[in-house]
Amino acid sequence: MARRSSAVRPNVPSGQSASVKQIRCAIYTRKSTEEGLEQEFNSLDAQREACAAYIVSQRHEGWVQMPDYYDDGGYSGGNMERPALKQLLAEIEAGRVDVIVVYKVDRLTRALSDFARIVEILDRSKASFVSVTQAFNTTTSMGRLTLNVLLSFAQFEREVTGERIRDKVASSKKKGMWMGGPVPLGYMVKDRKLIIIPEEAETVRLIFQRHQACGSLKALADDLAARGITSRLRTMKDGRTIGGQPFKSGALYWIIRNVIYAGLIPHKEALYQGEHQGIISREHWDASQALLNNNALRPHTGQRSILRYMIVDGLGRSMIVAHGRKGTRRYRYYVSKPVDGISKPTWRLPAGDLESLVRIAMLELLNNPLRLQTELGQLDRDHQLADAGHRLAEQLKAPMSMRALLEDLQAAITLKQDEIMICMEGAALINKLGIANTSLPIGHQVRLTVPVCLRRRGHELRLVFTAPDSRRAERDERLIRLLASGRAAWQQLVTRQPAFDSHQRSHLVRLARLNFLAPDIIMAVLSGRQPVELTSRSLLRLSCLPNDWTEQRRVLGFG
């Protein structure tokens, strides 16, 4: 942002009557884009000058301009993720500002929901706001109605603009036009069109040819490495150089899945003939897709170990994949690899638990544009951020595509006693989103933390969310049948039908105790929300089940 003009100075009235209460006014300015902010006198300065003049006109009311600047240059009014706005609201809650002065209402916000939150903060702090070009009296119902109408139109304008952009993208792709994003290997962009680079196109053709010959992505990666084939070397806007490395399986997966190489343009589930020239034939591309689909699951288990080679435990030991079998069922685990000098017991955790928690954390990030902005900073083309995040989130559904995405993001996962830490390369995530950001620091890491706890279920450790309501419901049918048996045993004891001996009576009494469990415990079991360590075996083996419901919750792990 350019150096602020000195033409506007805070107005501190002199000789003001002591009987007039001083009203502290803070000027808030905003501009949606950074265009023109480098000028000596820019839009923010113009807004501030108009607001300062209005404060001077209200000097007789005791209005005084605060000296601090609250400027959000290059921030959208569609959300409240703006540093200056957050600072200003904090000042209001602290009681250091009485009035917010803005040039127009839409400079403060363009969303009704956000406006309601701001008004709530103002009312709670007995503060108010003023728009210098729009006369409002928000103490009356008519004034609030007029303000809400204006804000509704501002929000409508923002939403219509988004719809118009999405419609334009859809229409352009139907005509086969390339609408931006990461430029695929083998192409360059000229006049907003994809043009083939002959040398790189040969590499792409070789990748598809060798994929058919090698039969798997791992074998293909080894084959290309042996041939000295490396990825495209690129220089970023901030001077960093990336690429020039041997291809990994994840990168090869997305090259082979990219239908642009067949001369087509994808949009959602549809494919359209592109304006650009394809590097391979549609038949060759279809053959590679069939091979990828056939190799999506490992034949001997039918399951993929998504986090293999990516995860370490809290002591820094790599966690490798192990399998167990009980009858005809096969189980997958992540197990700590023993390390010389570390005598503490290794961890052995079900793979499904860990993979599910990582998937949920990634979905929460990718489906939340505001959180993406928080993690990655202000991004160009913010209106495309939600669509790009949802597109990446779709890749988390299938095990193979989820692993490929984590590889591309250079994910590293650390499992601790109380949390899972997921670290990703910020530049890699921005690249996958297809949205530029030149302000991201070099080496910036995106870190996701999932609070968890280790619980023992029988002979096995289980990994669950710290908050019980956050984990998915898992109905234990054997536990539910045991509760039903408790009800039936009580009925038999009451009616004494049929007749039973002392041994049978002892067993029925043991079961009948379960008929007196607290109602909320029973409902939690029926809905699958019981503590993970509560099983039919642990409940039946409990020597003394308290009659007091509060004590029951503590003993059974609900408290």
Q: Are strands 99-102 and 23-31 parallel, antiparallel or unpaired?
A: parallel
**DSSP run (H or E) holding 187:** strand 187-190
One-character DSSP codes across 293-335: HHTSS-TTTS---TTTTTEEETTS-BEEEEEEEETTEEEEEEE
pLDDT of residue 206: 92
> For residue 301, what pLDDT is reported?
46
Q: Which residue do the tokens 């969303």 mark?
A: 111
Do 10 and 65 touch, CB atoms closer than 8 A?
Answer: yes
pLDDT at 488: 84
Distance, C-alpha 246 to centroid of its chain: 29
Which amino acid appears at position 55 of this protein? Answer: I
Q: What is the pLDDT of residue 50?
A: 92
How confident is the model at residue 466, as a pLDDT?
46
Q: What domains lie within the chain, and their CATH numbers?
A: 23-155 (3.40.50.1390), 187-294 (3.90.1750.20), 311-468 (no CATH), 473-555 (no CATH)
At 491, which amino acid appears? Q
Give the residues across from 348 on adjacent strands.
335
What phi and psi, each to the nearest 5 degrees, are found at residue 57? -65, -20
Q: What is the pLDDT of residue 379?
A: 59
Q: What is the pLDDT of residues 191-243, one digit of tens each?
A: 888 999 999 999 999 999 998 888 888 889 888 988 889 888 877 777 778 88
- pLDDT one-digit tens code per residue, 434-486: 876 556 777 788 889 888 776 655 455 555 544 444 455 567 788 888 888 88
- A 10 A CB-CB count for 49 gives 17
Question: What is the pTM assigned to this prediction?
Answer: 0.38
pLDDT given for residue 412 in this prediction: 92
Neighbours of 113 (CB within 10 A): 11
Task: Provide the pLDDT for residue 297.
Answer: 46
For the chain, residues with pLDDT lower than 70 are 1-19, 135-140, 142-144, 147, 150-151, 154, 295-304, 378-383, 436-439, 454-474, 497-502, 532-533, 543, 559
